[in-house]
Amino acid sequence: MELIPLSLTSAPRRAVRSDDPTTPLAPEVAAPALSVEFRDATRSFGTRTVLSGIDHHVAPGTITAILGPSGSGKSTLLRLAAGLDQPSSGSVLIDDRQVAAYDDRCAVAFQEARLLPWRSVRSNIELGLPRKGNPDVVDRLLELVGLEEFASHRPREISGGMAQRVSLARALARRPGVLLLDEPFGALDALTRIKMQSLLLDLHRAAPATVVMVTHDVSEAITLADTILVLGNEGSGPSQLIRTAYVDEQLRSDPVAVDALHSELLACLGVREP
């Protein structure tokens, strides 16, 4: 099924598809979306504090994008939400309960698809199934990411964009209440990236988990997110939340407002436009 590319700067929020087949997954396949809350979260490595005093509540079912300069702690913040790392002080909660190590309420996908090369596409997606998970879900996920015909292919036989689709399907197979994405489209070419943005919106409609994604692309953040968080610091200190922007359909449909927000976010990131 062919996805229709969206404009980079002022794409409508909902994905445009030629046959728009996205129907919500059944409740036994898609878990309810869960809130994420950072409460005065700080993370230090040795004597160096990377993140300081992060306070933010992510509402269930929303998409949040995290922007920030390289090294500002975006991945660290995501790892705290996933339970892959713990705050040095403060706390991170999912659904009002402290995040546990490798919290099974979350699924994570990274910039590299990280597929097992000796396993088929189907079998890589199956790896995401929780214990006693329903294997029929994998057929539905293959269909959702448009890879039914590639189910028996090995990772070396598919493109980078396809591999990233497998990675997203594997994450959704976990039935997460929170989907955490670290620059998921960062390694893809511009056209594939736009198609993947559209796919992410389709997947979010089918399985509306709370999505928190890191991106370095301001346009991508405006296209996809309900909330944009910018990490930054004054001088060489730890990163803090320096801007929270809310985006809705009305803003996205107004090219002047989109341009203004784009410029403002770039300025927050310390980038001056030519």
Ligand X SMILES: Nc1ncnc2c1ncn2[C@@H]1O[C@H](COP(=O)(O)OP(=O)(O)OP(=O)(O)O)[C@@H](O)[C@H]1O
- Give me the residues that bind ligand X (CB under 6 A), please: 45, 50, 68, 70-76
Angle formed by the axes of helices 136-144 and 190-206, nearest 10° = 140
SS3 75: helix
Q: Which does 76 bind (CB under 5 to 8 A by kind): Mg ion, ligand X, none?
A: ligand X
- Nearer residue to Mg ion within complex by CB, 25 or 212: 212
- Nearer residue to ligand X within complex by CB, 110 or 150: 110
Give dist(CA 81, CA 57) in Å, integer: 12
75 forms part of the interface with Mg ion (CB under 5 A): yes
- Nearer residue to ligand X within complex by CB, 47 or 250: 47
167 forms part of the interface with Mg ion (CB under 5 A): no
- Strands of 48-58's sheet in order across: 48-58, 36-45, 89-94, 97-98
Window contacting Mg ion (CB under 5 A); options: 27-35, 55-63, 72-80, 100-108: 72-80
As measured in angstroms, the least distance from the Cβ of 76 to Mg ion is 8
Residue 166 near residue 109 (C-beta atoms within 8 A):
no
Alpha-carbon torsion (193, 199, 201, 207), positive or negative:
negative
Which residue sits closest to Mg ion, CB atoms considered? 75
As measured in angstroms, the least distance from the Cβ of 248 to Mg ion is 27
- Nearer residue to ligand X within complex by CB, 3 or 181: 181
Give dist(CA 140, CA 73) in Å, integer: 35
Give the interface with Mg ion as residue ranges (CB under 5 A): 75
